[in-house]
A and B are shown apart, each in its own frame.
Chain A
Amino acid sequence: AQSVSQHNHHVILSEAASLELGCNYSYGGTVNLFWYVQYPGQHLQLLLKYFSGDPLVKGIKGFEAEFIKSKFSFNLRKPSVQWSDTAEYFCAVTPNTGNQFYFGTGTSLTVIP
């Protein structure tokens, strides 16, 4: 069965620190990959997505992610976080043959001013 693992459950950073959140998935076929963010009290918002092509994808608000097929990973990065990045971050995978999303457990990011 497909699964998505996010290794960091809670990350605390100071402003301007660099961020990397891990995401690994298990699925043998072609997948589409996503990162969603949920700010406190708000809905899940799409940060970035990967379907095919350049494995380094750029999203909104300075976030980027790199798809490494050999490692089944899609890690999220940001070179310099801001207090406003405090939120819950979810990695999600959907097989190319279906449209059901498989989510990771989420990573709670707290940025200290």
Chain B
Amino acid sequence: EPEVTQTPSHQVTQMGQEVILRCVPISNHLYFYWYRQILGQKVEFLVSFYNNEISEKSEIFDDQFSVERPDGSNFTLKIRSTKLEDSAMYFCASSGGGARAKNIQYFGAGTRLSVL
């Protein structure tokens, strides 16, 4: 079964450093997403991406965050200057085209980001 893969599984960084979290969505999917889950809290939507541009973003997704699809397979989340409160599990998801397919999101295993 096709999977969404995320690398690395755990990223440790110093406060103020830039990090890039990487995701390889399912190959024929058209919609891509990032979510995060702070320890003990709910999974929160960050951003969705379609047709090479952001289609929706939440209040969390401020200027420190950016997303990119640099080639035909990768989908990245960049945090420019990490803060302690960015420590969380970050999930990538993708979904197909079509009215219903786009609503079925497939998730990766997540990247745990620890900001020290």
Q: What residues make up the interface of A, taking CB atoms closer than 8 Å to B?
A: 4, 32, 34, 36, 41-46, 49, 51, 90, 92, 94, 98-106
Contact = CB atoms under 8 A, between A and B. Distances in A.
Contacts, number: 56
Nearest to B42: A105
Interface residues of B, number: 27
Contacts of B41: 105
Contacts of B35: 101, 103
B48 A43 contact: no
A43 B42 contact: no
Nearest to A43: B109
A42 B3 CA distance: 12
B7 interface: no
Interface of B: 3-4, 31, 33, 35, 41-45, 48, 55-56, 58, 91, 93, 95, 100, 102-110
Given A36-B107, A42-B109, A43-B110, A99 B42 contact: no
Closest 3 CB pairs of A and B: A44-B107, A43-B109, A103-B43
A101 B105 contact: yes
Given A44-B91, A103-B43, A98 B107 contact: no
A103 B33 CA distance: 14
Contacts of A90: 43
Given A92-B43, A103-B44, A105-B42, 8 more contacts: A43-B4, A43-B109, A46-B104, A46-B106, A94-B103, A100-B56, A103-B35, A106-B43
